[in-house]
Amino acid sequence: MNQLPDKRENQPKETGRKLPRRTLLGGAITTAAIALIKTATGQLVPAAVPYTDPTTVPGVPPGTVGSRSPFEALVKKPSEGSSRTPLQDLYGIITPSDLHFERHHGGVPAIDPERYELLIHGMVDRPLKFSLRDLKRFPSVSRIAFLECSGNFRTGKETMTPQEICGLTSQSEWTGVMLSTLFREAGVQPKASWFLAEGGDAAVMTRSIPVAKGWKDAMIVYAQNGEALRPEQGYPARLFLPGWEGNTNVKWIRRIEVADQPFMTREETSKYTEPVLGGKIRQFSFDMDARSIITFPAYPVQVEKGWIEISGLAWSGRGRITQVDISTDAGKTWQLAALQDPVLDKAHTRFRYLWNWNGQETEILSRAVDETGYTQPTLAQLVAARGRDMGGYHLNPVTAWIIGRDGAVVFKPEKWK
């Protein structure tokens, strides 16, 4: 990163006479032009510049598209095949569309909406093709719900943020047409029990889905947070299955084939299956179990002795979150956190707990309970239930943060192999 020249060289020199307003404005524009610097990753961040009283110069005029303040440097954290949402930097429960996590198997395709088609065929009375315009002519539905990759857990070192630990979950308001509406149009036959969802990306992502889920609450969505889907989220249309593992929510969906048995595709046989006790493999584990994580305080925050509002997110693919417990003494005792409205079905729920820290080293943890009575397990409980060779899918352990005497907060990594 190149060092910037001293900004004072660009400041008007004190000569004992007033400078014309045009000169002052020109100086302000120059300062604004060099207020951002580019990091090694290409991210624009604010440079250290002399403060200018914003009441003394005109601001930026109205534009065509809004933007974040240059002082707010929120970014996803990319890796091969995915990028993670900065959970620790967000407020409330809605994820900005451009910060929604990504998980791709063949990159992001460029699909012309005017040429888009969705085919529904197989065990139906009337095989049909729907254009995007056709889909938008049906009654629309909007709902707020989370989406989560089934491989959403990382551990291994203290210097990990919530984004790095479980940033493959995000929440949006999704808008589209109920799949049940399209099923009725096509005349899905009574003996049909499964359907194949096929994507239009380079991987031609395919998953077998029970027809019952299609009738219950599945959607074909074409909008997210009030605008068209982003390409990374399946533009122009995707399958959305509330509460189910992310890879079943096939993006860029182009074909639905209805049948009376699963199709046993690559992504549900050699992939997205989990070893369990007894030498068996668990398959079609669709629901995402209840989970929570404290997003503040969390690494790399440093806190001060006194009152701290512990805050985080809890969610469950099986319904509403009914309770979040907080421990501030490494799990010895637990207290109820407050759940912030709205508390929605299959949705991220914000929780808060006011805590007076005494300055001693400790561990803080959160534990979620959903409306089925399921309680978020510890890693040891997951190992006991599934075995040490349980793989990396559907891991939702209670997560701990260590707060040192100096106020530094670090992640407490756990190993199970």
| DSSP states along 19-43 | PPHHHHHHHHHHHHHTSEEE-TTS-
Percent of the chain residues past pLDDT 70, beyond the cut: 88
- Give residue 50's pLDDT: 73
| pLDDT score of 52 | 86
Q: What angle do CA 96, 244, 386 make, to 5 degrees?
A: 120
What distance in Å separates the CA atoms of residue 282 and residue 297, rounded to the nearest whole number? 36
Asked whether residue 70 is domain-assigned, the answer is: no
Structural domain range at position 326: 291-411
What pLDDT, on a 0 to 100 scale, did the predictor assign at position 13? 45
pLDDT at residue 3 is higher than 70? no
Is 8 contained in some domain?
Answer: no
User: Is residue 284 one of the residues assigned to a domain?
Assistant: no
Taking CA 173 as the corner, what is the angle to CA 170 and CA 177, rounded to the nearest 5 degrees? 120
The mean per-residue pLDDT over the stretch 2-10 comes to 43
CATH of the domain at 203: 3.90.420.10
Say whether both 349 and 318 belong to one domain: yes
Residue 100: inside a domain: yes
My answer on whether 368 and 255 are in the same domain is: no
pLDDT at 171 over 80: yes
User: Does 265 lie in the same domain as 155?
Assistant: yes
Quick check: 18 pLDDT over 80?
no
pLDDT in tens, 121-157: 999 999 999 999 999 999 999 999 999 999 999 999 9
Do both 315 and 259 map to the same domain? Answer: no
Predicted confidence band of residue 78 (pLDDT cuts 50, 70, 90):
very high
pLDDT band at 36 (very low <50, low <70, confident <90, very high): low
For 180-208, the pLDDT digits (tens) are: 999 999 999 999 999 999 999 999 999 99
Mean pLDDT of 42-60: 74
Among residues of the chain, what percentage have pLDDT more than 90? Answer: 82
Instruction: Report the 10 Å Cβ neighbour count for 18.
Output: 8
Q: Are 235 and 312 part of one and the same domain?
A: no
In a shared domain, residues 187 and 151: yes
Question: Phi and psi at residue 368, in whole multiples of 5°?
Answer: -100, 150
Domain tally, the chain: 3
**Angle (nearest 5°) at CA 120 between 117 and 125:** 140
Residue-level pLDDT at 368: 98
pLDDT of residue 351 exceeding 70:
yes
The C-alpha atoms of residue 134 and residue 138 are separated, in whole angstroms, by: 7
C-beta atoms surrounding 415 within 10 Å? 8
Q: Examine the pLDDT at 25 and tell me if it is beyond 50.
A: no
The pLDDT tens digits of the residues spanning 206-227 come to 999 999 999 999 999 999 999 9
Q: What is the pLDDT of residue 37?
A: 54
pLDDT exceeds cutoff 60 at 311: yes
pLDDT-derived band at 285, boundaries 50, 70, 90: very high
**Residues 182 and 250 grouped into a single domain:** yes
Least Cα distance to 219 among 172, 173, 174, 178 occurs for 178
Mean of per-residue pLDDT scores for the chain: 90
Residue 279: pLDDT band by 50, 70, 90 thresholds? confident
Nearby residues of 269 by Cβ (< 8 Å), 6 or more positions away? 283
pLDDT mean over 55-73 = 91
More confident residue, 229 or 19: 229
> Is the pLDDT score of 286 beyond 90?
yes
The Cα 181–Cα 219 span in angstroms is 9
Q: Do 217 and 126 sit in the same domain of this protein?
A: yes
- Residue 186's pLDDT is 98
Please identify which residue in the block is written with the tokens 């407050």.
Answer: 338
- The arithmetic mean of pLDDT across residues 66-93, rounded, is 94
Between CA 375 and CA 75 the distance in angstroms is: 32
Does position 329 have pLDDT exceeding 80, yes or no? yes
For residues 379 and 239, membership in a common domain is answered with no
Q: Residues 255, 139: one domain?
A: yes
What integer pLDDT is reported at residue 189 of this predicted model?
Answer: 98
